[in-house]
Amino acid sequence: MKLYTLTIKPLSGFGTALKGDSIFGQFCWQAAYDSALLDGGLEPWVEKYPQQPFAIFSSAYPTLPGETPKFALKRPDLPLSLLFPGTPGKNKREGALQRKENMNKRWMLVSEHGEIALHSVEFVNSEELITRIIQHDSAHTCGIETNHFARSLIQSHNTINRLTSTTGKGMFAPFAEMNTFYHPDVTLTIFVLLDPEATDIVRICRAFTTMGRWGFGKNASTGCGRFQLVGHHELSLPSPKAACACYTLAPAVPEKGTFKDLFFTPFVRFGKHGDVLVRSRNPFKSPVVMADEGAVFIPKSRNIFEKPYIGRAIGGISKSMPQTIAQGYTGYLPIDMES
């Protein structure tokens, strides 16, 4: 497989988080309507997906423009004692303050070279991250606090009866939803593994251009989920040297019997069909328990590093469309936890 990064610039709020499995689902809908995105169309690749994934998408991560390290990834789901070894402080008070400070360092800065040396990597909090991202000559305000690269804000909506052109009983029927808005200077990076037998980066970019124009995820019809594809870049596949673990880049379902230890935050995907199946009798998918991005899987054998992804396909999650699949695969970065 080949590894690329896609850089996108958010243009609106997002009602659905930019996680790898959701991005994969929307790409499949793109391929369903544009058969040229995958050689031979979508259906044969869906059948081969459990043995031969045609594309694997990561979640979206902040990009550090013009810097090395280049990407800000979620802090690994490891105990703080492993992430921040050393002196806890001269006394209990200083130790507690140090632990509190370390807990706020939710971002890990990495380069595009692949392997992560855990004990030498730099961790930062959200304020330090946006300081590195923001352009000093930026005049953007947008009502978003400058010490956060993203904010969850409430947007008010109203329910309108299309038959009567009224808002329902009483004066109006308002409701509120939470959307995520990014700082205007933020760009996001998505890592893409693709099978050259199935597609290429030009067609992937075409799909993302369309996706950004029409909107990603929830409430796309009301303007949410808009983004601009800024560019793409090919990376070399990580070549683990001293690595002993895998850092996951998207929510994943690990293979049984492959790992001797796993550190992760559980994530339950309550999926729902998109497009025309939204109006089907049962648009909801079965819940799937996954390990969220930022998990650390320690394999039983170094053979795991022979392929650039881990995890497995997820099937049997829909009664409306039995052939539905979900991305339980994820790309990973090798971690050296010793040096």
Tens of each residue's pLDDT in the chain, 339 residues: 999 999 999 999 998 999 999 999 999 999 999 999 999 999 999 999 999 999 999 999 999 877 666 899 999 999 988 888 775 666 788 878 888 888 999 999 998 777 788 888 899 998 888 888 875 445 554 444 455 678 877 777 777 777 777 776 665 677 777 888 998 889 999 999 999 999 999 999 999 999 999 999 888 888 889 999 999 999 998 878 788 899 999 999 999 999 999 999 999 999 888 777 777 788 888 999 999 999 999 999 989 999 999 999 999 998 888 888 999 999 999 998 876
- Going by C-alpha positions, the residue among 55, 20, 334, 63 that lies closest to residue 182 is 63
How many angstroms separate the first and last alpha carbons of the chain?
A: 29
Tell me, what's the pLDDT at 137? 41
Half-sphere exposure of 81 (CA within 13 A, CB side): 0
Q: Is the dihedral of CA 54, 193, 195, 301 positive or negative?
A: negative
Could you give the CA distance from residue 236 to residue 189 in angstroms, rounded to a whole number?
16
Which structural domain range is residue 32 located in? 2-336
Nearest to 131 by CA among 99, 97, 107: 107
The pLDDT value recorded for residue 258 is: 92
Q: Helix, strand or coil for residue 309?
A: strand
Domain count, the chain: 1
pTM of the shown model? 0.89
Maximum separation of any 2 CA atoms in the chain, in Å: 70
**CB within 8 Å of 136: residues ≥ 6 apart:** none
Residue of 62, 102, 274 lying closest to 185 (CA atoms): 62
Give the Cβ contact number of residue 149 at 10 Å.
Answer: 22
In DSSP terms, 55 is beta-bridged to 194
Burial of 109 (0-12, 13-18, 19+ CB in 10 A): buried
Would you say 255 and 310 are in contact if contact means Cβ atoms under 8 Å apart? yes
Identify the pLDDT of residue 141. 47
Q: Is 303 helix (H, G, I), strand (E, B) or coil?
A: helix
